[in-house]
């Protein structure tokens, strides 16, 4: 393990450039990851390594789960990791005020569809995008109902 200290330092610091240099030395025959791929690989390695402090492993576990990647953290450590970094659930609120139930229902449905489309596009966490789509759907529904 000639590069083990260097590897551990890169893992603990999430040092993308250092890991890229180290990867070039250790495995030059394999392709280099882009920055996003290297960050994911670092977090994946942090969850697997027993030499990395548990708090860092737990953070990497949460990061991987949050970004849709699998975690290599052993199952017996997952409950403890989730207590340190609980899962944050995001949500979207839709509020439509009208004295007419038909208007309220139509506008709510249009805005709900806009949110579901944003989720299907993978942009649900992009708040300005979702808000814009919701307001656009609201304007379109009101125009369709009242011709304005």
> What's the pLDDT score for residue 33?
87
> What's the pLDDT score for residue 50?
93
10-residue averages of pLDDT along the chain (148 residues): 83 93 89 91 95 95 93 95 84 92 95 94 91 96 88
Distance between CA atoms of residues 3 and 18, nearest Å: 12
Residue 95 in any domain: the answer is no
**Does residue 78 share a domain with residue 21?**
yes
**Does residue 12 share a domain with residue 78?**
yes
**Does residue 36 share a domain with residue 69?**
yes
**Does residue 69 share a domain with residue 36?**
yes
* The total number of structural domains that make up the chain: 2
**Does residue 30 share a domain with residue 66?**
yes
Look up tokens 């979207």; give the residue.
92
Residue 137 belongs to domain spanning: 101-146
> What's the pLDDT score for residue 1?
53
pTM to 2 decimal places: 0.61
């Amino acid at each position: 393990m000639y590069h083990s200290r260097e590897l551990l330092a890169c893992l603990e610091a999430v040092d993308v450039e250092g890991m890229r240099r180290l990867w070039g030395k250790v495995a030059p025959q394999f392709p280099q990851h882009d920055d996003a791929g290297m960050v994911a690989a670092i977090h994946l390695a942090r969850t697997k390594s027993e030499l990395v402090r548990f708090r860092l492993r737990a953070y990497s576990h949460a990061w991987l789960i949050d970004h849709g990647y699998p975690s290599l953290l052993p199952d017996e450590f997952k409950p403890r990791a989730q207590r340190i970094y609980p899962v944050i659930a995001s949500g979207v609120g839709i509020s439509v005020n009208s004295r007419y139930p038909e208007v309220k229902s139509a506008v709510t449905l249009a805005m709900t569809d806009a949110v579901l489309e944003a989720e299907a596009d993978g942009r649900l966490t992009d708040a300005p995008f979702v808000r814009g789509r919701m307001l656009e759907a609201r304007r379109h529904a009101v125009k369709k109902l009242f011709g304005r």
